[in-house]
Amino acid sequence: MGDPFAEKVLIECCLELFQNGVVEGIQDLGAAGISCATSELAANGDSGMEVTLDNVLLRDDTLTAEEILMSESQERMMAIVRPEKLDDFLAITAKWEVETSVLGEVTDTGRLIIHWQGETIVDVDPKTVAIDSPVYERPYHRPPWLDGIQADSVAGKPRATTPEELRDQVAQVVSSPNLANPEWITNQYDRYVMGNTALAFPDDAGMIRVDEESGLGVALATDANGRYSYLDPYTGAQLALSEAYRNVAATGANPRAVSDCLNFGSPEDPEVMWQFAEAVRGLADACMELGVPVTGGNVSLYNQTGTTPIHPTPVVAVMGVIDTVERRLPSGWQDDGENLYLLGSTRAELDGSAWADVIHGHLGGLPPRPDLPAEKALAGLMVVAAKDGLVTSAHDVSTGGLLQTLVEGVLRRRVGARVWLSEVMEDAGLDITEALFSESVARMVVSVAREDDVKFRGLCEGRGVPVARIGVTDLSLHGLDIADHFSFDLEELDNLHRGTLPAILGPVVGYQP
């Protein structure tokens, strides 16, 4: 069970340890716990290590040696400290109230030796565990059922034919569990520890200030869509990366690096193994094209009930850097009379969408087509627009389509918007369902002050990013109006968006939906 506050304290403790030069090496205890950390530290240092497992701090005294070695309890680090610096090390960990114990020592034997209750339970060359471990060549093949799934497009399903029917579908999508406001969960965590949080939920990415003098900041977003990856794992992994990359760019930060958490069923199933291989290949290809390295990550396998695996779900995190958090962009507009622009191209891409799921309970066809060059161009535009102060807010278009982006934009600062979509529909040959719910990639909605209108449009044209004016912010409206189709007032939207999770999961102390 993760503890974000304990994690923050551990991070600050480690930063002070580094600043004071009291550690020779350090590694987090992640996958495979102590067994991994000890073997990797010893192997990477061309040394040995002797450890007494009895010294490990435990939450449960009944744990066996195997469980202690393999436990993946969170908020733990393993540090290598010279004996003469041990007192300084322990003083710093005590200052931060980080529990600490000395497990053993580094040796020159080239062996990893672990003792437990007076017995030697491990005696191996650490390189055989950390570096020269066995490589599996598991069989895999494309699932024969996938052709039928991909041929089953939602395009032929009924669509709303009246404004009343369309409005009802909008209400269903906005209030669906996957799109409803998740603050019932996020408000249970303190996201302002140390006071350097510049952006947090519900903005597109979290952002923290890392240098109080220059204002230098980092932004982080994580995204995943198991429905897309079920339809095409190669494309699904690229779409997860695209969305996280876009969310970071929406804050004005420049995307720089990637991490991931790859969640799949049993790799002993050749069809699951194929999904895994395709997702890895898709992610690697997309990272190469976007020029962002994968700095780390983890894999979670055997996620299934009986023989039924979960949808392949690669979760991708993207980190970005911004010169100063003073230029950060929130996800919703707050001033009256600003122009709303839709950036990027909208296509008729409803397969795998939230609309297909909520309205028709459908999962089939092909997911939206990734457009990595367009993502890169859009991100570059947003970095410049934020730096030059041409944009006052930005929100990506992804799950739920343009409709969800507009709803969240209105609710962010409770400032209404009048929107017209006729130009978007005519230019792309779309109907209103496609214009509202399509999940085409490389799109954002931004608000621009009228005095910056010409400069902003010129920037878009110069960088080759499609731009269409779709509306205007309106403080007097107190809601969202889609011209010729429907309108919602703020109170109704708020109830639809915020009421779902509390109704399903129950009340939380201090939470008022």
Mean pLDDT (whole number) for 477-504: 95
Task: Kindly report the average pLDDT of the chain as a whole number.
Answer: 94
Return the closest-CA partner of residue 156 out of 369, 348, 347, 441: 348
Q: What integer pLDDT is reported at residue 513 of this predicted model?
A: 55
Give pLDDT tens digits for 304-327. Answer: 999 999 999 999 999 999 999 999
429: number of CA atoms within 13 Å, CB side? 2
pLDDT for 191 beyond 90: no
Give pLDDT tens digits for 24-63. Answer: 999 998 878 999 999 999 999 999 999 999 999 998 889 9
- Distance (Å) of CA 194 to CA 11, 74, 369, 449, 489: 12, 21, 41, 33, 37
Are 393 and 331 in contact, with CB atoms under 8 Å apart? Answer: yes
Are 339 and 470 in contact, with CB atoms under 8 Å apart? Answer: no
Give pLDDT tens digits for 69-84. Answer: 999 888 999 999 999 9
pLDDT range class, residue 133, cuts 50, 70, 90: confident
Give pLDDT tens digits for 218-229. Answer: 999 999 999 999
Give pLDDT tens digits for 377-432. Answer: 999 999 999 999 999 999 999 999 999 999 999 999 999 999 999 999 999 999 99
Q: What integer pLDDT is reported at residue 167 of this predicted model?
A: 97
Nearest 5 degrees, angle CA 414-CA 430-CA 486? 35
39: number of CA atoms within 13 Å, CB side? 21
Residues with Cβ within 8 Å of 40's Cβ and at least 6 positions away in sequence, in order, are: 27, 126, 130
Mean pLDDT (whole number) for 11-17: 95
Give pLDDT tens digits for 322-338. Answer: 999 999 999 999 999 99
Q: What integer pLDDT is reported at residue 5 of this predicted model?
A: 81
- Here the tokens at position 406 are 């507009």
Mean pLDDT (whole number) for 443-466: 97
Cα 213 to Cα 324: distance, rounded to the nearest angstrom: 10
pLDDT for 194 beyond 80: no
pLDDT for 2 beyond 90: no
pLDDT for 132 beyond 90: no
The helix/strand count (H/E) of the chain reads as 19, 21
pTM for the model: 0.88
- Distance (Å) of CA 308 to CA 140, 234, 362: 17, 21, 19
Neighbours of 143 (CB within 10 A): 14
The string over 283-308, giving b where at least 16 C-beta atoms fall within 10 Å of a residue's C-beta and e elsewhere, is: bebbbeebebeeeebeeebeeeeeee
Domains for the chain: give ranges and CATH numbers: 4-130 (3.90.650.10), 148-191+330-513 (3.90.650.10), 215-323 (3.30.1330.10)
- Helix (H), strand (E), coil (C) string for 16-75: HHHHCCCCCEEEECCCCHHHHHHHHHHHHCCCEEEEEHHHCCCCCCCCCHHHHHHCCCCC
Mean pLDDT (whole number) for 352-357: 98
Burial class (CB in 10 A: 0-12, 13-18, 19+), 419: buried
